[in-house]
A and B are shown apart, each in its own frame.
Chain A
Amino acid sequence: MPDSSDVASGAVVTLSGVSRAFNTAGGPVQALDNVDAIITRGRVTGLIGPDGAGKTTLMRLISGLLMPDTGSVNTLGFDVKEQPLQVQASMCYMPQRFGLYEDLTVQENLDLYADLQQLPYAGRPERYAELMHMTGLAAFAARLAGQLSGGMKQKLGLACTLVGSPKLLLLDEPTAGVDPVSRRELWEIVYRQVSKTGMSVVFSTAYLDEAERCDEVLLLHQGRLLGQDTPAAFSSRMQGRTWHRSLDEGVSKRALQHRLSQLPGVIDTTIQGEQIRLVMAADTAAPDEANLQATPPRFEDAFIAMLGGADTAAIVSDQQPVHIRTTDNDQLPVIEVSGLTRNFGTFQAVKGIDFSIRRGEVFGLLGANGAGKSTTFRMLCGLLPASHGELTVAGVNLREAPSSARSRIGYMSQRFSLYGSLSVLENMRFFSSAYGLGRQQRKMRIDWACKQFELGEVIATAANDLPLGYKQRLAMACALLHEPDILFLDEPTSGVDPLARREFWHRINLLAEQGVTVLVTTHFMEEAEYCDRLVIMAEGTILAAGTPHDIRMEAAATGRPADTMEDAFITLIHRQPEFATA
């Protein structure tokens, strides 16, 4: 029987002195360190923290899939050590990679979870109808789960976890990689359930704007609970420390951002539309800058400040700029694409798109999973032949001479393509020899990479044992060893926490300032602000193209507000006639 005192106090989860360590190849790791917290019933609680903070471990402990080393976890009145099955019978947990059976249909997946939750047959038709309606999956009941889009898969996962009307719902990064429209719809479903049934929800996320939606936030960092409060209370701690700096005539956004990031007392800079947002350290006066304007703080500011700020000060301009081939005419586009099409059987992944990229531009390719970004990207890199259309990279037609273009391209893939068992140095040696660098040049470039990407202290560590942020740096270093003048980055920030993402964009900015052309794909809409120009893709076509400013204006012209790129994206995608049915 549930402990009556807990029920009375309204606690759905009580953590007291919870610690949990894991043995890894690189020695023991303390995933959670003496965490005390009470999660309140009937609320939406966010677990926020950078990669490796212990969010997933905490969820698994709450659901009784892991046991704490010390301390106790009480979920819904049951001690998870004593009665894990009772816990699992009244809650639902949706892991990061939710286990949908991809070879089962939508309906069959629902049936399975209804059986597992022992939902009586009598109540099923009604519950199914409700869930199908809520998730918009009714039309796809007979479709295999593997053939759903990323957003629909997550919705089905949510429907499966909700089928037994749980009292507690745990969601581990439910919106990772999901397009903005589906992301909003997912949250609508969750909040509707909370208000209707009084269900409690605990979720983790890498999107800091989602933290603002929670009733309460648990801020985790390196296994410790840094704070537990409402998002507004977190933000209010930053009162008077946040500023907007508008642009100067003739100075690029990136250059201004870089300069501001180097000022004393500045802990965070982000590009926001036509302004740079500044966050100052505590008790530091605003910098002596023109065009400065106070702006209300956000949760994200508190997050960055509590975690000590992004380490961008160390990222300084390179002494030895990337060698740019000057024989090319600067006026010609570096990459030119026209009528690019790719078919997979009867399915058209990319439907005849056109764009061109100039030298030294940061060009963004945005879109949800399945929009055709990666396919376009692979064709540009020469990894996948185009079905139709023309494709010129660095003045070379990719259909005729793909290999000569490839030596001028640096490529970093979504999964980083590192050799996990090789050390950082061995990875760099391998990639430099793969690109055919001589001994002298190889040594020079590896020294450069160690300095530029601060890899010196982890030089002997195996790539698998690196934190994700370091892996990303190493992958980028490897892509730059042969001094390419075009850099292709495929979802470089996917799964990387906000701190590492900030560092990453600082590096990209510097490279672009040195004249490297960067083509980058991302599903983080706010990262679009770092691009000079971008295209938004949906269903294999280009939805909008231009500078971030142009795209926001285009969306605003429809009459809806488009303050952020995400708003703009959603507005533009709703403008599509075929979207109305989906």
Chain B
Amino acid sequence: MNAAHLNEGGISAMRLRGLMRKEFLQILRDPSSIAIAFVLPVILLLLFGYGVSLDAKHVPIALVVDEPGAATASFTGSFRHLPYFDPLTLPDMRSAEIAMREGRVEAIVHLRTDFGRKLYQPGGTPVQIIVNGVNANTGRLILGYGSGIWINWLHQYAQINHIHLPASVQVEQRVWFNSELRSRNYLVPGLIAVIMTLIGALLTALVVAREWERGTMEALMATPVTMNEIIIGKMAPYFVLGSGGMLISVGMAVWLFDVPLRGSIWLLFGVAALFLLVALGMGLLISTLARNQFVASQIALIVTFLPAFLLSGFIFEISSMPQVVQIITHIIPARYFVALLQTLFMAGDIWSVIWPNALALAVMALIFLVLVRRISRKRLD
């Protein structure tokens, strides 16, 4: 036996191959890790992709016209032709209010008496929109769409009738990067970041703890294997598995949810690989400390998944968070990955965004791997 091979940093190709083959065989025979890597992203993407939409579509609203006429008919008609609303014409405000209380409609659009006349008066308010504020998000959307429809209609009405309207403020709206204003376009890339956090951390959090629980770690440690070999032997197979999960997620985003991918696919997988290293490192760290599968999985959910969900900017805009929370988001790896994914999907290869975020991920990956290496010692105490 050549003693030179046997230092803590040494790596033997034969041992590493043995460890990795063992890990792959275990992955193949234990459906749970395959489920985490491949089934979990599909379920989460379907759930969030279809379930969570921040767009309003087919919102039931009540239309109340006090004094029907040509102008009112033209205006209500513009509500009927849009996919955002399902209008219901009601005879008076009383029945509309009842419908709102009963939850049959989310908003009331009230066209008052003298609609046609008030149009020409400066400061006249011929239309009232009452919104159910219980669901604040939908409420805001209805108001936004409602006033948009009103302005558009006024504009058209004035053009057709060759009249000058005092109320017509000309608003020119242009939306960049997500011109259809589909919330899915930014939700899905963010969601991929959350999913990859969960997969990466959960996969490795379970596997080292499992070896401790089943007593295989003690037997492993009694062999001349080095800690570097054990760590690489754990990281490499789950890196492959996690990359598979990433591939599935990106595929679903592009082909199922029609999210545009404007950046380079190679860049996308490059930053994903970097992030996967961070997530796997977190999982290994948790697993090494916990030595118990149940505890490790709970910790993994609480310290990786939840912050990634809430503080990464995936749903909740970071710039609108309190100052303290904004500072905390800087230690959440998913924050950088969300920014990278949203940019790569919707805007393209914007290097001024990619460089700082990728650098942050690289630093974090290094920190976690160094930490794992330092706390993993070939000792049982």
**Partner-B contacts on A (CB < 8 A):** 22, 60, 63-67, 83-86, 88-90, 92-104, 108, 111-118, 144, 160, 170
**Partner-A contacts on B (CB < 8 A):** 1, 3, 6-8, 12, 14-15, 17-19, 21-22, 25-26, 29-30, 211, 214-226, 378-381
Q: A89-B224, A93-B222, A95-B219 are in contact. List 13 more A-B contacts (CB 8 A).
A: A60-B380, A66-B379, A83-B3, A85-B6, A94-B219, A95-B222, A97-B218, A99-B219, A101-B22, A104-B29, A111-B21, A112-B19, A115-B15
Contacts of B380 in A (CB 8 A): 60, 65-66
Known A-B contacts A101-B26, A103-B30; A67 and B6 likewise in contact (beta carbons under 8 Å):
no
Contact A88 B25 (CB under 8 A): no
Contact A103 B3 (CB under 8 A): no
Known A-B contacts A84-B378, A99-B214, A115-B14; A108 and B22 likewise in contact (beta carbons under 8 Å):
yes
Contacts of B22 in A (CB 8 A): 101, 104, 108, 112
18 contacts between A and B (CB under 8 A): A65-B222, A66-B381, A88-B221, A88-B223, A89-B1, A92-B223, A93-B222, A94-B219, A95-B215, A95-B218, A97-B214, A97-B215, A98-B219, A99-B211, A104-B26, A108-B22, A115-B14, A116-B19
Known A-B contacts A94-B219, A99-B215; A116 and B25 likewise in contact (beta carbons under 8 Å):
no
Known A-B contacts A65-B378, A99-B215, A99-B217; A92 and B222 likewise in contact (beta carbons under 8 Å):
yes
Known A-B contacts A67-B379, A67-B381, A103-B25; A85 and B215 likewise in contact (beta carbons under 8 Å):
no
A84, A86, A114: the one contacting B3 at CB < 8 Å is: A86
**Cα distance, A64 to B379, chains bound together (Å):** 8
Contacts of B25 in A (CB 8 A): 103-104, 108
**Cα distance, A170 to B379, chains bound together (Å):** 17
**Cα distance, A89 to B4, chains bound together (Å):** 12
Q: Shortest Cβ distance from B59 into chain A, in angstroms?
A: 52
Smallest CB-CB A-B distances: 10 pairs = A115-B18, A99-B216, A99-B219, A97-B215, A93-B222, A89-B224, A85-B6, A116-B223, A103-B29, A95-B218
A66, A85, A95, A160: the one contacting B224 at CB < 8 Å is: A85
A89, A98, A108: the one contacting B6 at CB < 8 Å is: A89
Contact A117 B218 (CB under 8 A): no
Residue of chain A at shortest CB distance from B16: A115
Q: Shortest Cβ distance from A449 into chain B, in angstroms?
A: 33
The interface residues of chain B, by DSSP majority, are classed as helix
Q: Shortest Cβ distance from B309 into chain A, in angstroms?
A: 32
Q: Shortest Cβ distance from A464 into chain B, in angstroms?
A: 15
Residue of chain B at shortest CB distance from A92: B222
**Cα distance, A118 to B6, chains bound together (Å):** 12
Q: Shortest Cβ distance from A60 into chain B, in angstroms?
A: 6
Q: Shortest Cβ distance from B1 into chain A, in angstroms?
A: 5
Contact A116 B15 (CB under 8 A): yes
The A-B contact count (CB < 8 A) is 105
Contacts of A92 in B (CB 8 A): 222-223
Contacts of B220 in A (CB 8 A): 99, 116
Q: Shortest Cβ distance from B294 into chain A, in angstroms?
A: 15
Residue of chain B at shortest CB distance from A105: B25
Residue of chain B at shortest CB distance from A64: B378
**Cα distance, A93 to B222, chains bound together (Å):** 6
**Cα distance, A40 to B220, chains bound together (Å):** 26
**Cα distance, A190 to B328, chains bound together (Å):** 59
Contacts of B381 in A (CB 8 A): 22, 66-67
Contact A116 B225 (CB under 8 A): yes
Contacts of A94 in B (CB 8 A): 219
Contacts of A60 in B (CB 8 A): 380
Contact A112 B21 (CB under 8 A): yes
Residue of chain A at shortest CB distance from B378: A84
Known A-B contacts A65-B218, A86-B3; A113 and B223 likewise in contact (beta carbons under 8 Å):
yes
Residue of chain A at shortest CB distance from B221: A65
Contacts of A118 in B (CB 8 A): 12, 14-15, 224
Contact B216 A88 (CB under 8 A): no
Residue of chain A at shortest CB distance from B216: A99
Q: Shortest Cβ distance from B254 into chain A, in angstroms?
A: 35
**Considering residues A95, A116, A118, which has the most beta carbons from chain B within 10 angstroms of its beta carbon?**
A116
**Considering residues A22, A96, A108, which has the most beta carbons from chain B within 10 angstroms of its beta carbon?**
A108
**Considering residues B6, B14, B220, B223, which has the most beta carbons from chain A within 10 angstroms of its beta carbon?**
B223
Contact B18 A116 (CB under 8 A): yes
Q: Shortest Cβ distance from B57 into chain A, in angstroms?
A: 48
**Cα distance, A64 to B221, chains bound together (Å):** 9
**Cα distance, A487 to B240, chains bound together (Å):** 55
**Cα distance, A501 to B75, chains bound together (Å):** 93
**Considering residues B8, B15, B25, B222, which has the most beta carbons from chain A within 10 angstroms of its beta carbon?**
B222
Contacts of A99 in B (CB 8 A): 211, 214-220
Contact B214 A65 (CB under 8 A): no
Residue of chain B at shortest CB distance from A109: B22
Contacts of A63 in B (CB 8 A): 222
Contacts of A100 in B (CB 8 A): 216, 219
Contacts of A98 in B (CB 8 A): 215, 219
**Cα distance, A417 to B188, chains bound together (Å):** 48
**Cα distance, A92 to B7, chains bound together (Å):** 18
Contacts of B219 in A (CB 8 A): 93-95, 98-100, 160
B8, B14, B15, B379: the one contacting A65 at CB < 8 Å is: B379
Residue of chain B at shortest CB distance from A97: B215
Contacts of B223 in A (CB 8 A): 88, 92, 113, 116-117
Q: Shortest Cβ distance from B23 into chain A, in angstroms?
A: 10
Residue of chain A at shortest CB distance from B28: A103
**Cα distance, A508 to B272, chains bound together (Å):** 65
Residue of chain A at shortest CB distance from B27: A103
Contacts of B6 in A (CB 8 A): 83, 85-86, 89
**Cα distance, A92 to B218, chains bound together (Å):** 12
Residue of chain A at shortest CB distance from B218: A95
Contacts of A116 in B (CB 8 A): 15, 18-19, 220, 223-225
Contacts of A97 in B (CB 8 A): 214-215, 218
Contacts of B217 in A (CB 8 A): 99
Q: Shortest Cβ distance from B220 into chain A, in angstroms?
A: 6
Contact A88 B222 (CB under 8 A): yes
**Considering residues B7, B8, B219, B379, which has the most beta carbons from chain A within 10 angstroms of its beta carbon?**
B219
Known A-B contacts A66-B380, A67-B379; A111 and B18 likewise in contact (beta carbons under 8 Å):
yes
Q: Shortest Cβ distance from A352 into chain B, in angstroms?
A: 34
**Cα distance, A90 to B2, chains bound together (Å):** 11
Contacts of A65 in B (CB 8 A): 218, 221-222, 378-380
Q: Shortest Cβ distance from A303 into chain B, in angstroms?
A: 27
Contacts of B26 in A (CB 8 A): 101, 103-104
Contact B222 A117 (CB under 8 A): no
A64, A67, A85, A102: the one contacting B7 at CB < 8 Å is: A85
**Cα distance, A63 to B225, chains bound together (Å):** 13
Contacts of B7 in A (CB 8 A): 85
Contacts of B214 in A (CB 8 A): 97, 99, 102
Q: Shortest Cβ distance from A2 into chain B, in angstroms?
A: 10
**Considering residues B25, B30, B226, which has the most beta carbons from chain A within 10 angstroms of its beta carbon?**
B25
**Cα distance, A95 to B217, chains bound together (Å):** 10
Contacts of A115 in B (CB 8 A): 14-15, 17-19, 21
**Cα distance, A56 to B379, chains bound together (Å):** 14
Residue of chain B at shortest CB distance from A116: B223
**Cα distance, A86 to B1, chains bound together (Å):** 9
Contacts of A114 in B (CB 8 A): 18
Contacts of A160 in B (CB 8 A): 219
Residue of chain B at shortest CB distance from A86: B6
Q: Shortest Cβ distance from B28 into chain A, in angstroms?
A: 9
Q: Shortest Cβ distance from A63 into chain B, in angstroms?
A: 5
**Cα distance, A114 to B18, chains bound together (Å):** 8
Contacts of B225 in A (CB 8 A): 116
Residue of chain B at shortest CB distance from A114: B18
Q: Shortest Cβ distance from B141 into chain A, in angstroms?
A: 51
